[in-house]
Amino acid sequence: MQTQLQYYANYLAVEKGLARNTLESYRRDLEKFITYMKKQKKTNPEDIDRQALNAFIGELKKKGYATSTISRCIASIRSFFNFLLQEGVIENNPALDLESPRIEKKLPRVLTTSEIDKLLGQPKPGEHNGLRDKAMLELLYASGIRVSELVSLNVTDFDPRVGYLRCRGKGMKERIVPIGSVAISYVKEYLGNSREKLVKNGDENALFVNHHGCRMTRQGFWKILKKYARKSNIQGDITPHTLRHSFATHLLENGADLRSVQEMLGHSDISTTQIYTQITRKKIREVYDKAHPRA
């Protein structure tokens, strides 16, 4: 099965064009699955039946894996066996009717507009690093892009004249996202005053660079965000995705339609975007309960 896993990984990367992080998730899940099956003396795909799959899922539950992790594992296994079926390696997919455990969706953390103002007000634009940090935070909240998309931006992806940003999302799918005047002004100021002071190599095309003058990494941005989150004294954990959640929720609260928000976030399925309508409904209910005399 190890050889088939390699073929499958190549298929996902080349033909499906999946993002690196997604590929790694599939590989980790399937490595775990194959390791378990080896211990059960089942090394060939034809050896795997429904009973063996249920035993593996039971093992995951016994070890205390989260429901979401188990559900993802099942999806990875199902997809792997579908591939083996297409390739003629097996005649039947034993994972076809495997039931995934129900996942209770937690509503994402969303900052209020005053908390956003507090967080985005922490960097000091008078310093080169501070101006870069201010530009990154403003751009992240203005566009709702993922942190991986933020650090992947090149200088040529930012066009202040039309007020749009070109970014590459999951599976390297490209989309155009509008950005507001505040973010545009800080990114322009950063490009005009600070980036050239931070870049060490003139051939570097990354929009945002670290103190080494190289492309900013996801981990590097996380550290920056955590520093400003501590300074702002906002309760609870703040991640780069918190700004993305806040972006989407604030748009919907102020009248944006769901399809437009879906397009800006780069969601392939609108059901993923619909979680933000639950947040806005929850807030409406809270307002009603506080304001109505007979609530």
**SS3 sequence of 69-106:** HHHHHHHHHHHHHHHHHHCCCCCCCCCCCCCCCCCCCC
175's enclosing H/E stretch is strand 174-178
Between 55 and 105, residue with greater pLDDT: 55
86-143 per-position pLDDT tens digit: 999 998 888 887 877 765 566 778 899 999 999 999 999 999 999 999 999 999 999 9
Give the residue among 18, 245, 271 at the shortest CA–CA distance from 147. 245
As a whole number of angstroms, the distance between CA 31 and CA 38 comes to 10
Q: Stretch 59-74: mean pLDDT, rounded?
A: 88
Q: What is the pTM of this model?
A: 0.62
Q: Provide the 8-state DSSP code for 164.
A: E
Active-site residue numbers?
A: 146, 170, 241, 244, 267, 276
Mean pLDDT of the residues in the chain: 88
Between 157 and 271, residue with greater pLDDT: 157
Q: Say yes or no to pLDDT of 256 above 90.
A: no
The structural domains of the chain, ordered by start, are: 2-86 (1.10.150.130), 113-242 (1.10.443.10)
Q: For the chain, what's the residue count?
A: 295
Calculate what percentage of the chain has a pLDDT beyond 90. Answer: 55
Question: What per-residue confidence (pLDDT) applies to 92?
Answer: 85
Q: Provide the 8-state DSSP code for 215.
A: B
Question: What per-residue confidence (pLDDT) applies to 137?
Answer: 97
